[in-house]
Structure 1
Amino acid sequence: MKKIVVILLISIQGFSQNFDYKNYGNLLAKYVSSNGNVNYELLQKNAAELNQVIIGFESNYPTKSWAKEEILAYYINAYNVYTLKKVVDNYPTKSIKNINNAWDDKFIVLGKKKVSLSYIEHGILRKMNEPRIHFAINCASFSCPQLANVPYLPATLDTQLDKAARNFINDGSKNSITTDEIKISEIFNWFSSDFKTTSSDIIDYINKYAAVKVEANAKVRYLKYNWSLNE
């Protein structure tokens, strides 16, 4: 029994040995509220703290030796922290969409490569066959899933992603769900191939997490996306 416990502890600890999210966690706790709103004005005044966190991400990025959970956690957190960086560097702004080339600017340094937010989302995360990433990455906008004020960690990633999916799908400001009709985020439309393609597939996916169970023949409508800054 003792050997099993020791092996389990080593396995759990091994997930987090490649990256220390302490500084990022402190940043989130200080500048992001429990409902995901960001104090961009204060964060901009203390941009050195954000830049220090960025240095940590730049100096220790995933290699082939990292476990899948470690890679997923890193790039989810990276997407979110670099989105903060993009907004802070262009603040004040009413929307990230007002920032020129926000998603395609190659301002993120990964070793010898410079990549964009779009590359992290579409070139890495979406290729990892984990649709729940869409509830974890935050595009600095009101209609986005809220920015968690704690880091995603490899050892707790599955639980955190389930929570993010449940919170987003049952958030009445993002989706409206009844038994015979769902009015849902454009995220389910934009990335339908990640959730499957037909309406019934979307309903099946929604029903995994929704507090209200939706009928298979329910109407599916998509809500207009609100790109106002999440502050």
Structure 2
Amino acid sequence: MVKKKPLQRQASPVPEDSNQLNAEAAHLVEALRQLMLKLYADHLSDDGKTVDYKAMRNSEAFESYCELAVLLQQVDLKSLTKEEKLAFFINVYNALVIHGQIQMGTPKNVWQRYKVSLSEVQPLIHFALNCGGRGCPPIKTYTPKDIDQQLRAAGEAFLAGKDGCFVNIEKKEIHLNQIFKWYKTDFGDTDEKVVQWVLDHMTESLKKKQMKEVLESSNCKIIFLPYDWSSNSLN
């Protein structure tokens, strides 16, 4: 449900037609997701890696999104299922990062970027969250239905590309995205366990076969790739 209480003073007025959402959090979440889909379709690159912030800022869809987003502070998350919460937090995180870049500008350092925390550890969310950097996974929206399958697919797609991982078979090196170092405890408490997690979540491919061979060798070396913090702005 959407809580009936005053908005914070810095918030914009609630849209007059907000009652049409039937005071249901799930309805609000879906309405926001549909607006996000519109914004992404119009201003996101095909691979989901860059955003045309300038054009988005001047769009009517973004104005509508800002008005609707005011209601987020009134949402009662207890009324959402586990799957709805997962989709809600991922979608809102990605949307608010874009919102923040438009309203406040590009973050000047790593510490100015957002961090989200969910009640249960779900390693695959790291491949759904986009902090506004070019090294981040692509931006998408997620629905409660089959959310685990959607996250699995996002993880597989990220690991299939060079941003996620790659193998130097001659040097017996496995290169992993910095995400696996920052959130190592989510994937395993040793580098070897992290690589095993990666293998378990990759689709069958030549890269996966080579990674297995390197991991089984006696002098395997695991290297974490530099992260690209440059803005994912299209302009």
TM-score in terms of structure 2 length: 0.73
Which of these residues, 203, 222, 225, is aligned with residue 224 of structure 2? 222
Deviation at 1:187, TM superposition (A): 0.6
CA distance in structure 2 between the aligned counterparts of 1:134 and 1:159, rounded to whole angstroms? 14
Deviates more, 1:176-185 or 1:35-44: 176-185
Match status 1:67 vs 2:81: yes
Matching residue's letter, 2:188: K
Partner of 2:101: 87
- Provide structure 2 residue ranges, at least 5 long, that are not aligned to the other structure: 1-24
Compute the RMSD of aligned alpha carbons: 2.6
Matching residue's letter, 1:39: D
Deviation at 1:29, TM superposition (A): 1.2
Q: How many residues align?
A: 193
Matching residue's letter, 1:34: D
The one-character-per-residue Cα deviations of 1:45-97 (angstroms, maximum 9, x if unpaired) are 22x53243244344253521211110010000010000001111134xxxx43
Contact 2:163–2:177 (CA<8 Å) still a contact in 1?
Answer: no
Contact 1:186–1:223 (CA<8 Å) still a contact in 2?
Answer: yes
Secondary structure of the equivalent of 2:77?
coil
Match status 1:176 vs 2:166: yes
Deviation at 1:27, TM superposition (A): 1.4
Deviation at 1:16, TM superposition (A): 5.8
Secondary structure of the equivalent of 2:36?
helix
Contact 1:18–1:66 (CA<8 Å) still a contact in 2?
Answer: no
Match status 1:22 vs 2:34: yes
Which of these residues, 95, 102, 112, is aligned with residue 102 of structure 1? 112
Deviation at 1:162, TM superposition (A): 1.1
Partner of 1:161: 151
Which of these residues, 204, 208, 212, is aligned with residue 200 of structure 2? 208
Partner of 1:38: 51
TM-score in terms of structure 1 length: 0.74
Contact 2:91–2:142 (CA<8 Å) still a contact in 1?
Answer: yes
Write out aligned runs for 1:123-162 (5 A).
Answer: 125=118, 127-148=119-140, 151-162=141-152
Matching residue's letter, 2:197: Y
Matching residue's letter, 1:167: A
Deviates more, 1:75-84 or 1:166-175: 166-175
The one-character-per-residue Cα deviations of 1:110-135 (angstroms, maximum 9, x if unpaired) are xxxxxxx33xx13xx2x322111100
Over alpha carbons, which structure has the higher Rg? 2
Deviation at 1:98, TM superposition (A): 1.6
Aligned CA distance change for structure 1 residues 54 and 45 (closer, same or farther; 3 Å)? closer
Matching residue's letter, 2:107: K
- Provide structure 1 residue ranges, at least 5 long, that are not aligned to the other structure: 1-14, 104-116
Partner of 1:198: 190
Deviation at 1:23, TM superposition (A): 1.6
CA distance in structure 2 between the aligned counterparts of 1:69 and 1:90, rounded to whole angstroms? 31
Matching residue's letter, 2:52: N
CA distance in structure 1 between the aligned counterparts of 2:55 and 2:86, rounded to whole angstroms? 29
- Give % identity: 26
Secondary structure of the equivalent of 2:78?
coil
Contact 1:143–1:174 (CA<8 Å) still a contact in 2?
Answer: no
